[in-house]
Amino acid sequence: MAKFASQLPQRLPVLAAALWWGGLSVIGFIAVPLLFAHLPTPAMAGRMAATLFTAQTWVSVACTALLLVLAKRRHAEAEEPWARDVLALLIGGMLLALLVQFGVSPRIVAKQDLRLWHSVGTLMYALQWVCALRVLWRTSAPQP
């Protein structure tokens, strides 16, 4: 148990990045497509998908916020080695999550130009997924 506790600060960035990327992957590539394939109506699937995407937004915000906090340890002079390359990706990923949730999703739910807003939301979700993947890749890389 002591070894686990002593290694947690070094491994926490990888865990947060993995949760962020993994959540996006499972929701976007597995859960939501299954909803549309197996629920009786697209409207039912859409409502459930919106709930899952909302939950994922808050997972994304929590993970990116934690990673931003961990990027520079207290009293450290410089950022963590993994953080140098990914700060913009963390901020961008968090902003994308919030923009989809509060800018795009309400328009989809209101059925405003559904094809346009669904496409915009999908693109923004994909960009967030790429941000999360790049952060996971960098945090899991061997540290010098």
pLDDT single digits (tens) 61-75: 999 999 999 988 766
- pTM (two decimals): 0.90
Tens of pLDDT along 12-61?
999 999 999 999 999 999 999 999 999 999 999 999 999 999 999 999 99
Rounded to the nearest integer, the mean pLDDT of the chain is 91
| Cβ neighbours, 10 Å, residue 63 | 27
Q: Give the pLDDT mean for 82-86.
A: 85
For residue 41, with 0-12 CB atoms within 10 Å meaning exposed, 13-18 middle and 19 or more buried, which class applies? exposed
Q: From CA 133, how far away is CA 33, in angstroms rounded? A: 21
Which pLDDT belongs to residue 141? 87
Which pLDDT belongs to residue 77? 74
| Cβ neighbours, 10 Å, residue 115 | 7
Which pLDDT belongs to residue 72? 82
